Amino acid sequence: MKIALKRVYDKASKEDGARILVERLWPRGVKKTDLVLDGWFKEVAPSTDLRKWFSHDPAKWNEFQKKYYAELDKNHVALEPLLRLIHKGTVTLLYSSHDTEHDNAVCLKRYLETNAL
């Protein structure tokens, strides 16, 4: 079991395993036919309200993580398909943000490694 992170704009590789988009909105500038994807789990992404509040502001990162973890704690049903994939092998969480440190995929990976595996 391994969880990796990758931007949607980076090239797919065999090592990615199952490639899962974990964004609520489709990434800008990416055609649906161009993205190598095994699933789009928008239900595990932050709520629209939380996403808009955070707005990728690093100053809000700590509070965002707490709020997002609280959403995930209440959303076990949405996490189940993702957990099944993770237990089968490598899963790469795909995200579109330019900020590779302050993104919901980073937060989701940490949550899964800490609480669900």
pLDDT in tens, 73-85: 998 899 999 999 9
16's tokens: 């990615």
Contact 54, 46 (CB under 8 A): yes
DSSP character at residue 12: P
Mean pLDDT within 2-28: 95
% of the chain at pLDDT higher than 90: 89
Does the pTM surpass 0.85? The reply is yes
Flag whether pLDDT at 1 surpasses 90. Answer: no
From CA 68, how far away is CA 86, in angstroms rounded? Answer: 20
Model confidence at 116, pLDDT cuts 50, 70, 90, reads low
Mean pLDDT within 53-76: 95
Closest CA to 89 of 9, 24, 20: 20
| H-state helical runs in 1-116 | 48-54, 61-73, 76-88, 104-111
